[in-house]
Amino acid sequence: MTSPIERRALITGASSGIGKATALAFAKAGFHVALVSRSESKLEAVAEAARKTGVTAKAYALDLADIEQVREKVAAIADSFGSIDVLVNNAGMGYTGEIMSTPLSEWQQVIDLNLTSVFQCIQGILPSMRDRGSGIIINVASIAGQQPFPGWGAYNVSKAALIALSKTLAAEERAKGIRVVTISPGAVNTPIWDTEAVQVELNRSAMLTPEIVAQSILHMALVPEQAVIEELTLMPNAGVL
């Protein structure tokens, strides 16, 4: 009897929202999961829940906003946890504010976390994927990257740029056996709506749930190697964003 294939996923922003739901969905599907986020206590709770499915799950506290250290630390996580088959770049922040009134420091904060940290995570994981000639990189963008919403300037730009990063990476790495996927969800009911940087009121009960998005991410990761879902736009049926 052949033993099951060992698959490992690294998920950023895994302490809550889409990242937490994705971590648990991947664990239930048999993936060993490396969980990355700022909050060690929240991460450990998610890791403990993932372990109950019978997989290895480890929490790695890392502030992805500190972009100077991301590449090196993500590479070190992969070295200690084992070869990463699936990288899910989910960490990010919301931000509302018109472009004219956005301070440079806040603009940079959004771009650093939503775009540059992803770029650095990719550079940390890509060398080992290239060595093996396989791997999937899944970037969580947003519908805001496809159809910009007024009052969400820096966020729109960060997600549009993330989509461009994904397309460029896919073109560069396809011949090396590496698949790159972009998922652009509409509004998702996560703690992002409770943060100080987001000042807007919407009907959260009509939004997508993190679990629905997580199932879509897992589905994209499980597509046979001969195929790739390059882009997926996932919208709530109720018509909220």
Q: Which residues are catalytic?
A: 155
DSSP state of 197: T
CA-CA distance, 186 to 240, in Å (whole number)?
Answer: 8
DSSP letter (8 states) at residue 5: P
* Amino acid present at 43: L
Question: Is 114:162 a contact under the CB 8 Å cutoff?
Answer: yes
State the Cα–Cα distance between residues 57 and 22, nearest whole angstrom: 13
Q: Of 120, 27, 114, 106, give the one whose Cα is nearest residue 70.
A: 120
Closest C-alpha among 33, 30, 63 to residue 46: 33
Contact 191, 210 (CB under 8 A): no
